[in-house]
Structure 1
Amino acid sequence: MKKIFKILLKIVLGLLALLLVGFIVLKIVFSEDIPQGQKGAPSDALGYEILEAINHKQFTEVKEIHWTFAGINRYVWKPQQNAVDVFWDDYKVAYVTTYPQISFAWENGVKLEGEELQEAIDHARKSFNNDSFWLIAPHKIMDIGTERELIEEDGKKKLLVRYKSGGTTPGDVYVWEVDENNRPTSFKMWVSIIPLDGIKAEWNDWKMTAGGFPMATSRSMYGIEIPVSDVKVVK
């Protein structure tokens, strides 16, 4: 029995060592520093050009946006009301984005209170912040609490966006690349929830929505699709 235990222990330690080595290698590969650029009018000008390229005004006027993330979280977002219904498992949260404390939640149709209510609201808040970002991130480049820098490299203009406040993980940084029409094609990110620096995500296959603004229908990292599905825009 002791011999079997020693063998299993060696296997476990060996796997842990391999994982550690793998992480160190990835950390070395993805150790890109955050670039520095020019703040002020030039960076804001590019930001507004990007918003114009994706019909941001029309985006702000839509009635509802529906989508599902990772086949788990389902959303009915009502931007004009600063509200979103968040569904997962047997839960529903009527989440108020501007005043989360007045949100309501149910489990199997039973209204939640106290600690259970707060846990459901917290889950809805974190999920919505993450999942909506993957849906409409380009529209958030000029949000309150952001700072921008114009990056010029390889003959291209890029926009660095730093989220100084708001959201779930303030301090995150994204560097957007755009095409010749200023439509976003990808970003690199330096974010607290990913321990690797400069990970790149592609934003492709832009198609016009019923709301009069285009939306990327393919979002991926190194060939792996970000699981956004069942998107519906109600004007």
Structure 2
Amino acid sequence: MKKFLKILLKIIGALLLIGVIGFGILYAIYNEPIPEGKSGSAADALAKKMLKAVNHEAYKNTRYLEWSFAGGAHKYKWDKENGKVEVIWDNYKVNLNLNDTSSSLVNKNGAIVTAKESRDIINTAWDYFNNDSFWLVAPFKVMDKGTERSIVTLEDGSEALLIKYAVGGTTPGDAYLWKLLPNGFPESYQMWVKIIPIGGIEASWDDWQIMETGLALPASHKMGPITLYMGDLRAYN
């Protein structure tokens, strides 16, 4: 048994070493620093051009958004007008109050969970919503309070929009470099975010759909071999 454990520990150690080396190689190849951009009126104008392309006015006038994330494991119905969202995953359903999370209600297996027991569940729903809604509506948030906008000139001479979030969400300090079509429509962004240790990972914004209220929403995103689907999209009043 001791001999077996020694062999097992050696195997585990070798695998960990391979993992560390592999991450180091990936980090060296793909990690990029946040680029320097030029802030000012031109950056604001580019952000407004992007908002017009995705029909920000229609977004502001849309009351309900429905989608799913994580392969359908997280499901949402967001009432933007009242600042409430229904979050469903596993055996939980949280009626999340975005303006006062302490008044949110939690159901587990159809039964109401007490306030004391629900605190961690509400925090989880809040984190899920912040992350998963960003993959849906990030283009509409480029002029939010606490954002810093600047223009970055890419190698091909085109202009990209760098957005830094000083406040808000679950991970303030994140930054995104939007690559745009000539009309301002978003194609992809590169990310510098706390949850991804390699800076500059790029994700596409694909399969755009025009909702019944007129705004445009993405149905999927690609990051290398991974595709993130947004489920059955709905936007209505």
Given the two structures, how large is their TM-score scaled by the length of structure 1? 0.96
Moved more, 131-140 or 219-228: 219-228
**One-letter amino acid matched to 2:213:** G
Aligned to 1:128: 129
- The reply on whether 1:163 has 2:187 as its aligned counterpart is no
Q: Give per-residue Cα distances to partners, 1:192-234, cap 9 Å, x unaligned.
A: 0011010000112222111211122221101311132122222
Q: How does 1:100-179 map to 2 (within 5 A)?
A: 100-153=101-154, 154-179=156-181
In 1, the alpha carbon distance for the partners of 2:4 and 2:109 equals 47
More displaced, 36-45 or 182-191?
Answer: 36-45
Q: Which amino acid aligns with 1:123?
A: T
Q: Secondary structure at the match of 2:27?
A: helix
TM-score of the superposition, structure 2-length normalised? 0.95
List gaps (5 residues or longer) in structure 1.
none
CA displacement at 1:23 relative to structure 2:
0.9
- Residue equivalent to 1:199: 201
Indicate the residue corresponding to 2:91 in structure 1. 90
Count of residue pairs the alignment pairs up: 235
Q: Distance in 1 between matches of 2:222 and 2:137?
A: 14
Post-superposition offset of 1:126 = 0.2
Please state whether the residue corresponding to 1:175 is helix, strand or coil: strand
Q: For the residues of structure 2 that align with 1:8 and 1:91, how far apart are their CA atoms?
A: 39
- Contact kept in structure 1, 2:64 and 2:77, CA below 8 Å: yes
1:229 correspondence with 2:234: no
Moved more, 45-54 or 25-34: 25-34
SS of 1:134's equivalent in the other structure is helix
Question: Which residue of structure 2 lines up, in the alignment, with residue 9 of structure 1?
Answer: 9
Which letter does structure 2 place at the counterpart of 1:175? L
2:59 maps to 1:64: no
- State the partner residue of 1:53: 53
RMSD after superposition: 1.2
What is the identity, as a one-letter code, of the residue corresponding to 1:57? E
Distance 2:214 2:224 in 1: 30
What's the counterpart of residue 22 of structure 2?
Answer: 22
Counterparts of 1:106 and 1:6, CA distance in 2: 47
Residue 108 (structure 1) shift: 2.2
Query: What is the SS of the residue equivalent to 1:66?
Result: strand
Deviation beyond 3 Å, 4+ runs, structure 1: none
**Distance (whole Å) between structure 2 residues aligned to residue 206 and residue 110 of structure 1:** 38
Comparing 23-32 and 155-164, the one that deviates more: 23-32
Unaligned runs of 5+ in 2: none
How far apart, in 2, do the equivalents of 1:8 and 1:89 lie? 35
